[in-house]
């Protein structure tokens, strides 16, 4: 990155939204795994 490049920081609300999407993606993935195990155990 060049010294003359502008700082590429997204605004605060965008960073918070990205973090929330990541958390919800992880939670959704864990829920899917638990669901598959529950269905497989029947």
Q: Is the pLDDT of residue 2 over 70?
A: no
pTM over 0.85: no
Angle, vertex CA 10, rays to CA 4 and CA 16, nearest 5:
155
Helical ranges in the chain per DSSP H: 12-41
Q: Where are the domains of the chain?
A: 16-42
pLDDT for res 3:
65
Per-residue pLDDT tens digits for 9-31: 878 989 999 999 999 999 999 99
pLDDT (0 to 100) of residue 16: 93
Confidence (pLDDT) at 17:
93
- Distance between terminal CA atoms of the chain? 55
């Amino acid at each position: 990155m060049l010294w003359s490049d502008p700082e590429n920081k997204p605004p605060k609300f965008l960073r918070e939204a990205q973090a929330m999407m990541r958390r919800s993606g992880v939670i959704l993935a864990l829920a899917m795994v638990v669901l598959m195990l529950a269905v497989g155990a029947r």
